[in-house]
Structure 1
Amino acid sequence: METAEQTARSCGTCTLCCRLPEIAALEKPADAWCGHCSEGQGCAIYPDRPQLCRDFLCRWMRDPDVSEAWKPLTSKMLVYDQGPQVTVLVDPDHPTIWQQEPYSSDLKEWAQAAEARGHYVILFCGDDVVKIEPGVTASA
């Protein structure tokens, strides 16, 4: 995998990583804005942010094979790897976007590739949790 510097992608005004995931070190629940984030601007404590935030890069940032359609501000989703799990966090303001193309087909392809390695794809949207199955039409 290439790094964000090698892909020439940047966060720009995206701050979904400050909203969608739970960040225990900051006592930030999932789907809530971090108290240190200025939406569209970024982190107010950037030099002193927790290590988890320092280490985080979404899949769109670090993997040049992930299409432009998956840019978080476009897709309304944040995708990242957690060990054997590919995690997909869907903005609860756009709960069905993952069922649309190209996302639905891409998720099934990612699930197929993950399964071949003994891994899996899990999607979270609000209180809903869906395991994406390879080659199966995605549905909630």
Structure 2
Amino acid sequence: MSVAEDIVDGRSCGTCSLCCILPEIDVFDKPANSVCRHCQPGRGCLAYDERPATCRDFFCHWMTDADMNEAWEPARCHMMVYTQGPQITVLVDPAHPHIWKTEPYASQLQQWAAESAPSGGYLIVYVGDEVTVVGAKAG
């Protein structure tokens, strides 16, 4: 999560609505992988001016991380990346369940997992009900 001041120059949500579809949004009793009742996919939020802080304060990493190249634009890669404490979360559009296992994504996810591990971080990929911890070694 981030704040509006952290948005990379030139980036915008455009027609992407993945943050209104992929995550669970408790304040709206919205389950994961369903369209929020306030969302018009490809057009935006019908309650934009009155949206709760949960929505107002959220920006995916592509919006706030200048190191993420155009391949990571959520509408293009069908994934949304964000951080919660030590956890890097990757939500994958269930209509594209294997995209995260392809390049350039797979190697970048492995790199992020490896970089976060020394400080106790980890990377989790959610595809529908499937959960994968990236970089985890069998014990």
- Superposition TM-score tier, normalisation by shorter sequence: over 0.9
Q: Percent identity?
A: 51
Match of residue 77 from structure 1: 79
Match of residue 3 from structure 1: 6
What aligned pairs does 1:39-78 form with structure 2 within 5 A after superposition? 39-78=41-80
What aligned pairs does 1:92-111 form with structure 2 within 5 A after superposition? 92-111=94-113
Residue 81 of structure 2 aligns to which amino acid in structure 1?
A: V
CA shift, 1:96, in A, is: 0.3
What aligned pairs does 1:23-42 form with structure 2 within 5 A after superposition? 23-42=25-44
Match of residue 16 from structure 2: 14
TM-score, normalisation: structure 1: 0.91
Residue 100 of structure 1 aligns to which amino acid in structure 2?
A: T
CA shift, 1:7, in A, is: 3.0
**Structure 1 residue runs of 4 or more that deviate by more than 6 Å after TM superposition:** none
Q: Which structure's relative contact order is higher, taking Cα pairs within 8 Å and 6+ residues apart?
A: 2
Mapped to 1, the partners of 2:120 and 2:29 lie a distance apart of 32
CA shift, 1:112, in A, is: 0.8
CA RMSD of the aligned region, Å?
A: 1.5
- Gap runs ≥5 in structure 1: none
TM-score, normalisation: structure 2: 0.92
Mapped to 2, the partners of 1:9 and 1:81 lie a distance apart of 19
Contact 1:7 1:63 in 2 (8 A): no
What aligned pairs does 1:86-125 form with structure 2 within 5 A after superposition? 86-125=88-127
Residue 3 of structure 1 aligns to which amino acid in structure 2?
A: D
